[in-house]
Structure 1
Amino acid sequence: MKPARPVLSRLGFGGAPIGNLYTEVSDDDARAAVDAAWDTGTRLFDTAPHYGLGLSERRLGAALAGRSGYVLSTKVGRLLVPAEPAPDPDGFAVTTGLRRQWDFSAAGVRRSIEESLVRLGLPAVDLALIHDPDDHAEQALDEAYPELAAMRDEGLLRAIGVGTNQWELPLRFVQETDIDVVMLAGRYTLLDRTGLPLLEECAARGVQVIAAGVFNSGLLATDEPGATFNYAPAPAELVDRASKIAGICARHGVTLPQAAIAFPLRHPAVASIVLGARTADEVRRNAALADRPVPDELWEELG
């Protein structure tokens, strides 16, 4: 019998920034960010070996030590293996004697979870997600998923799923496997609703969705549209669209990031949104935005 699915809090804490994504974050600031998330009622905490080559997992595990009643999510697909110490080439401000190695094999997935548990200081993980299997679809379906399902049966995991920046491959997982959760980044937002077919299938099959990347990496993160979309300079036409949306929001007394946070939660398949933060102030700002009501008239005008 499958274990009962963990209950996901409406707002989740994304652990990539405290893995030094793009810039260094001190241990104290990382801990303060997690503490602030806890104080605002967040009980879903997401991390991955990829985030800072294990730094995010270590920091999050230490910050959550001694606490209970939360859901912790980590990921599989990238093993951390020894390497010559060097700056990380994947955008995290860390220098370690480790590098990432893609591995969606059964043995690799089990090893990944076992090593994550050591870094986290935990005996089990609530949720494990197959992370970015875009170029490894068949191995992820044929090997990674069955191994995670076995680990779920063994009680090492309470729920399993897939996390990607695209919607087509997760749709296969929903249709062909018995996953519990999909984490979809950036494909169901105010600017990009291409992931709607996936959400509809998840709703029909009872698969929970965690929406991530709701700001599309920056364009929707501030009251005036930012300069990046999907981690690259935003095309002029998207900046123009975002500016028009911001104007509509303003007429209804709503800010652009407030609407960006609220939008995915309107779909019945979306159980939670995950927002990354590197400081306590960012956490509190996000929580305050998430708590502000958005009038139905805004959604009617946006269509």
Structure 2
Amino acid sequence: MTATTPGRSPVRFTALGFGGAPLGNLFRAVDDDTASEAVRAAWEAGVRLFDTAPHYGLGLSERRLGRALADLPRDGYTLSTKVGRILEPTPERAHERDDQGFDVPATHTRRWDFSADGVRRSLEGSLERLGLDRVDLVLIHDPDDHGRQALEEAYPALHDLRSQGVVGAIGAGMNQAAMLERFATETDVDAVLLAGRHTLLEQSANALLDTCAERGVAVLAGGVFNSGLLAHDHPPEEATYDYRPAPDALRGRALRIAATARRHGVSLPQAAIAFTGAHPAVASVVLGMRSADQVRRNAALAARPVPTALWSELAEEGLLDPGAVPAPGAPAP
């Protein structure tokens, strides 16, 4: 899998990235061996971008990812983590379970902190959990309700750390496009991670993607399956969209997209990966993967070409925003 250095980013990305939230027991637990095997399978598939965060399993994802990468050449991969949530010990709650979607004991609580000191503390904690002396990309994580502090305090702190060579690249990661567009236009970020807003079911980030393409900001695209609805060729009734039960209308739309894709010899998850990765601003499609089997399946899907005629037909059927249709000949991830 070819690694690229898009735009002005000083770090390299592979077209397929490994999302580390499942290693933090997102929704359900995985054991240490399964987590390690998933990372190893990603490496063997040519994946060289690994993304994690303190938020994922109260640090469990970072600890597992650090152990799995420990025997691999440090200059051979790009590691991304995030700042904005400080993990504070709560040993008195260790008998409880985390209440933010991760199947882990509530041994810590998350405290929002986008101050300069908070950025440094968060990064120090991440390095300790990862067992590393540096990370390649640091993203300001979910500053939706803290935009001013993120722009005026967290960003300058990261800018300084990048200038000092402590980190290679900086950016922001969110589930919305509007604030990411502010980062792309008002700051000197290298990359943004956009989750769930540029998919076969939602194309609300056209302006952000175009801005990033113009300004040389690399886009890492997550949530391409919209948390599950696009992950199966025939989405089940219990499928989720943005981590909630999918509305019937959206599930029906996904089924129509799947039917059109089948006429082109393409599965729904294959189309989901290819569509998101086809925009010229997208440097990597980052998929959350919890097992070696999932890694191998997704890597195989990402490697299969998708005919560009599919996008035109979906637009003609009213299932895709015509303004988001990839240009003919646009590469699949």
TM-score normalised by length of structure 2: 0.89
DSSP 3-state at the match of 2:200? coil
In the TM superposition, residue 97 of structure 1 has moved relative to its aligned partner by: 2.1
Q: 1:187 maps to what in 2?
A: 197
1:27-38 counterparts in 2 under 5 A?
27-38=32-43
Q: 2:280 maps to what in 1?
A: 268
Q: Structure 1: how far apart are the matches of 2:169 and 2:105?
A: 32
In the TM superposition, residue 228 of structure 1 has moved relative to its aligned partner by: 1.1
Q: Deviation string for 1:261-303 (max 9, x for gaps)?
A: 0001111100000001111001100001001110122122122
Q: Deviation string for 1:59-79 (max 9, x for gaps)?
A: 000100132210000000001
Q: Structure 1: how far apart are the matches of 2:26 and 2:245?
A: 18
- Percent identity for Structure 1 against Structure 2: 62
Q: Structure 2: how far apart are the matches of 1:299 and 1:91?
A: 34
Q: Deviation string for 1:154-183 (max 9, x for gaps)?
A: 111100000000000001111110000010
2:130 maps to 1:125 = no
Judge which range, 175-184 or 3-12, deviates more. Answer: 3-12
CA RMSD across the alignment:
1.0
Q: 2:52 maps to what in 1?
A: 47
2:80 maps to 1:73 = yes
Q: 2:178 maps to what in 1?
A: 168
Q: 2:330 maps to what in 1?
A: none
Unaligned runs of 5+ in 1: none
Equivalent residue in structure 2 for 1:104, among 114, 117, 120: 114
Which letter maps to 2:250?
L
Unaligned runs of 5+ in 2: 1-7, 316-333
Q: 1:93 maps to what in 2?
A: 103
Judge which range, 132-141 or 229-238, deviates more. Answer: 229-238
Larger fraction in strand: 1
Contact 2:9–2:190 (8 Å) recurs in 1: no
Q: 1:87 to 1:198 in 2, by over 3 A?
A: same
Contact 2:83–2:123 (8 Å) recurs in 1: yes
Q: 1:143 maps to what in 2?
A: 153
Structure 1 ranges of 4+ moved more than 4 A: none
Q: Structure 2: how far apart are the matches of 1:184 and 1:269?
A: 11
In the TM superposition, residue 96 of structure 1 has moved relative to its aligned partner by: 4.1
Aligned length: 301
Contact 2:9–2:217 (8 Å) recurs in 1: no
DSSP 3-state at the match of 2:65? helix
Q: Deviation string for 1:206-236 (max 9, x for gaps)?
A: 0000000000011100011242111111111
Equivalent residue in structure 2 for 1:113, among 95, 118, 123: 123
In the TM superposition, residue 196 of structure 1 has moved relative to its aligned partner by: 1.0
